[in-house]
Each structure stands twice: as C-alpha cells, then as structure tokens.
Amino acid sequence: MEQVLLEINHIQKAYGTHVVIDDFSLAVNKGEVVVIIGPSGCGKSTLLRCINALEDIQGGEILLNGEEVLKEAKNISKMRQKIGMVFQSYDLFPHKTILENIVLAPIKVQKRTRPEAEKEAVELLTKVGLADRKDAYPRQLSGGQKQRAAIVRALIMHPKILLLDEITAALDPEMVREVLEVVLSLAKAGSTMLIVTHEMAFAKAIADRVLFFEHGKIVEESSHPKEFFTHPVTERARAFLKTFDYETEQNS
C-alpha cells in the first residue's frame, strides 16, 4: 500500500476576480516524483507557492501527512520545514557566504548546533560538488553553482517533500545539466518531489507521473511519462509538446 504524503483537495486560488487555480486536486505518494508542465503563466508556480503557504488560498485544503498547511497557522514554521522549496532565481542571501546561507535556518529555526549543521552542510556541498566554494559569497558563483547551493539550503532542513520551481529557467544552457543531475540523483535516492519545469527531456527522464496544467486546471495526467511525451492524448498537450520539437515540425 502506497503512503500518501501530500494531499491537495479542491484548492482555489484567485487574485481578485482573476482565477489562477481552479478546483485543483492532487495526491503525491512518498518517494514519488511528480512533474508539472504547461505554458507560461498557467499557474504552475503559484501552485507551488500555495503548497508552501507563501500564497493564501480561497478554498480547499492542503495536507502534508494529514496535517493542514495554512498560511496564518501557528505551526506554519514546522510545516514549512517539512516542505523544501527551491526558486527559479535561487534567492540565496547575498550578505552571507554559501556555508552561512545553508546553516542559517538549521541553527535559528531548528536550533541545531553550529558544528553539527556545518558538518552536514559540508557533506551535502560535497555531494553537489561545491565543497571548495563554501566560503564564497553568492555573487562569486555561477548560476548553476548558486542553484546547487540553493538545493542544499533546502535539503539540510530534511524536508519530507521538495518543491522545485523552474529551477533551471534562469540558467545558461550549459549549466542546466549540472543542476538537473543533482535532482536526478535525489530522485534515485528516493526523495519525494514536485517539479515545475520547461525541460521536457528532463521531465521525461525523472517523472513517475506527469501533469499537463493549463488555465489553472489539469488537462492531462499520465503515470507513463514515456508514453505521454510521445503520444499525448489531448489536443492541447499535443500542441504544447510540439512547440518544443523542431524536427517533428519540419518532418510533418
């Protein structure tokens, strides 16, 4: 029996009258990697921000291990520690070194000791190939390095689930791979992840399940990513995928 980790029930999100997410539901099992794709501005990023309670929702509920995630709730800090998030623009703290960026929250929020937090930080940095850059400031790093550091900053909190919001969208093409490889290795190690991305090849390689999202709704859902990417069922998904594929365009 698979264990449901994250459960989203009928959530509704609107800015004023503009509906961004419309009656959206999803259940993510422990160890599962769910990839969300869809055109820009379709509400994918907003969805991730809602799950981390950075946005309030107008209806429905978000449950992690059966506990509700609510923006103004008392336990929100505890809940957010369990939900790691990595942003498109890395958003490291520019006034702190990489190591300080990573150990800040473990020390201040989880009240761990500095030596212990630093030890784990260095271990994680070693895994992503950044151990030698631990004393650098964010602006001295390349985009790819910054993003790997941001992933470590989320991982050190030992989140139950990791939300990745277009983490390669701001990167130069040659840096995309180094970041995605880190994510692939996390998936192999059994991490639960909810990923928003525009990298179709990556999505195909990593996803246990793919959601095609448009206008705040799921248009198509598939537990067989290989099949989804070659033979999407809906017309919308087919048209969307086609925009990524120049060869098909020319051949057909």
Partner 1 sequence: MDWDAIISYLPRYKDALLLTVKIGWLGILLAFIIGVLCAAVIHQKIPVLRQITGFYIELFRNTPLLVQLFFLYFALPKVGVRVSPQFCGSLGLGLLGGAYMAETFRSGLENIAPIQSESAQSLGMSKMQAFRYVILPQAVSSSVPGLLANVIFLLKETSVFSTISLMDLMFTAKDLIGMYAKTIECLTLLVVFYLIMLLPVSILGSLVERRLRHAEFGN
- Nearest-approach distance from CB 102 to partner 1, in angstroms: 10
Q: Which residues bind partner 1 (CB under 8 A)?
A: 49, 52, 54, 77-78, 80-81, 83-85, 87, 89, 91, 93-97, 104-105, 108-110, 136-140, 153-154, 157
- Nearest-approach distance from CB 67 to partner 1, in angstroms: 14
- Nearest-approach distance from CB 78 to partner 1, in angstroms: 7
Within 8 A by CB and 6+ apart from 36, the residues are 44, 47, 194, 195, 196, 197, 210, 211, 213
- By C-beta, is 83 or 183 nearer to partner 1? 83
- Nearest-approach distance from CB 56 to partner 1, in angstroms: 13
Contact (Cβ atoms closer than 8 angstroms) between residue 120 and residue 61: no
CA atoms lying within 13 Å on the CB side of residue 61: 7
- By C-beta, is 18 or 139 nearer to partner 1? 139
- By C-beta, is 117 or 219 nearer to partner 1? 117
Q: How many CB atoms lie within 10 A of CB 13?
A: 22
- By C-beta, is 15 or 93 nearer to partner 1? 93
Look at the block and give the residue holding tokens 């930080």: 121
Helices 143-155 and 98-108: crossing angle, nearest 10°? 20
